[in-house]
Amino acid sequence: MDWDALIRSELDPMVPYAPGLRASEVRERSGKDVILKLSSNEHPCGPFPAAVRAMEAVLHRLNRYPDGSAHALREKLCATLDLAEENLVVSNGSNELIRLIAQAVLRPDDEVVFAWPSFVVYPMVTQMFGAVAVKVPLTDDGVHDLDAMLAACNDRTRLLFLCSPNNPTGTIYSRDAFEAFLAKVPEHVLVVVDEAYFEFVFDNDYPDALEYFDGVRPIAVLRTFSKVYSLAGLRIGYGALPAPLAQAVDKIREPFNVNTPAQIAAYYSLLDEPELERRRLENQEQKTYLYSCFDRLGVAYYRSHTNFVYFMTEKPVEVFEALLEEGVIVRDFGTAPALRVGIGTPEDTAITIAAFESVVARLGSI
């Protein structure tokens, strides 16, 4: 079999997504009993208690396929977000929705504009469908350069991704900048705003993209239950899409793409607003403690609007390995002079701070 002839050549430059080290691997390497996996931006607490109870109640029904239309969840989301049902799509994580949108609109040699560094799935789906990635560097402050992204658009541009807040830097662009961008973006460009971390934002200048969604202009807004709602293991997300795009996505998604426990857990998570607010406040508080540690140790970082912090280091490999020896798993980005560390519980933060203090004492600096 000539596999090179059989498999699409567009996949040749692609690299499989690397999920990072498992806690069990680091436990063996470090000899530490307590391992903090702070590399994947997961929320440190489990799912909302009401969601756990609701999932337990449906486990005996898992011999049946899930509701293929996710009707109850879609109805709840539409009421919560003031959206028409024709505009609401539920997906197997927001990652799936990114891929489905790309699959629905991209043709070979179309161009896709996105900031860089940003979410690694954007270049992956671009390559997957034979399009051309146009990476626009972030500003010196780690923020999307919206003017430069506009300048990068041309007649071949089909998609433009905005990650807000941005992963991995945790930064946001301002409301004024976003409104100026929307006024100038070409009509033929579909703007996909990925708001996976929007629940963690406290800044009043943050532009919630749903406020600008009218179902007419080519804007899609994506969100997820993986982060603050702690449902990463169930893979469930959703998006607000113009009706023609939502219909196209519905044609190509897998049947029954969102499983029953995921739908149930998401629905009941939406009912517990006090727990949502508690998690938001705790994340903000623990992030402040980590900032204080970095300030004291002379570690440069971007102020984050998420549940992680992107910090600078001249020796990313050494710092990454040294933190592993302390039982703390952070995210590395190859040769980039930075690492990303997630925010945990108060107990996690104390361990994380002690680990950074130990690493600085050992290496002299970060």
Single out the residue of 205, 182, 167 nearest to residue 333, CA to CA: 167
**Residue 340: inside a domain:** yes
Same-domain pairing of 209 and 330:
no
78 in the same domain as 61: yes
Residue at a domain's end among 269, 286, 306: 269
The CATH number that applies at residue 319 is 3.90.1150.10
Domain final residue, candidates 239, 269, 299 = 269
Instruction: Indicate whether 186 and 311 sit together in one domain.
Output: no
Is 4 within the bounds of a domain?
Answer: no
In a domain, residue 9? The reply is no
Same domain, 25 and 150: no
Number of domains in the chain: 2
Do 346 and 261 reside in the same domain of the chain? no
In a domain, 10, yes or no: no
**Does residue 298 lie within any of the structural domains?**
yes
Last residue of a domain, one of 269, 294, 322: 269
Does residue 240 share a domain with residue 95? yes
Q: Are residues 242 and 340 in the same domain?
A: no
The tens-digit pLDDT sequence of the chain (366 residues) is 899 899 998 888 888 887 777 788 888 777 778 899 999 999 999 999 999 999 999 999 999 999 999 999 999 999 999 999 999 999 999 999 999 999 999 999 999 999 999 999 999 999 999 999 999 999 999 999 999 999 999 999 999 999 999 999 999 999 999 999 999 999 999 999 999 999 999 999 999 999 999 999 999 999 999 999 999 999 999 999 999 999 999 999 999 999 999 999 999 999 999 999 999 999 999 999 999 999 999 999 999 999 999 999 999 999 999 999 999 999 999 889 999 999 999 999 999 999 999 999 999 999
Note whether residue 8 is domain-resident: no
Shared domain check, 343 and 253: no
Residue 126 burial (CB count, 10 A): 26
Query: Which residues touch 233 (CB under 8 Å, ≥6 apart)?
Result: none
Same domain membership, residue 58 and residue 40: no
Whether 6 is in a domain gets the answer no
Whether 88 and 99 share a structural domain: yes
Are both 339 and 201 inside the same structural domain? Answer: no
* CATH code, domain with 244: 3.40.640.10
The reply to whether 185 falls in a domain is yes
| Whole-model pTM over 0.85 | yes
Domain of 103, in residue numbers: 49-269
Asked if residue 83 and residue 217 are part of one domain, the reply reads yes
